[in-house]
Amino acid sequence: MLREALGTALRAFRSDRGVTLRELAELSSVSPGYLSELERGRKEVSSEVLASVCHALETSVADVLIEAAGSMAATSIDADLALTR
């Protein structure tokens, strides 16, 4: 699911930069609770919120989307391999 892959990618970018959820909330003007829900794949993210979070993480929306797409592709390949066994 795209929202789960986006959440995982956002968490990875945040973790790689050593930014806490609260720090990211302040930097992006998005509530910590909402960010937590995004990272767990429980909420859809608007393009505006995604842009704000990416800006706060000093990365591009494209980089986060590429990371999410890669994760989705890997999951799809794993599922395909499981079917062939």
CATH of the domain at 77: 1.10.260.40
**Structural domain for 32, as ranges:** 2-83
Number of folded domains in the chain?
1
- CA 51 to CA 62: how far, in whole Å? 10
Identify which has the larger pLDDT, 1 or 63: 63
- Which pLDDT tens digit goes with each residue over 29-83? 999 999 999 999 999 999 999 999 999 999 999 999 999 999 887 665 555 556 6
What lies within 8 Å, CB to CB, of 4 at 6+ separation is 41
pLDDT reported for residue 1: 80
The answer to whether 79 and 38 have CB atoms below 8 angstroms apart is: no
pLDDT reported for residue 40: 97
Q: Is the predicted pLDDT of residue 12 greater than 60, yes or no?
A: yes
pLDDT reported for residue 55: 98
Q: Is the predicted pLDDT of residue 13 greater than 60, yes or no?
A: yes
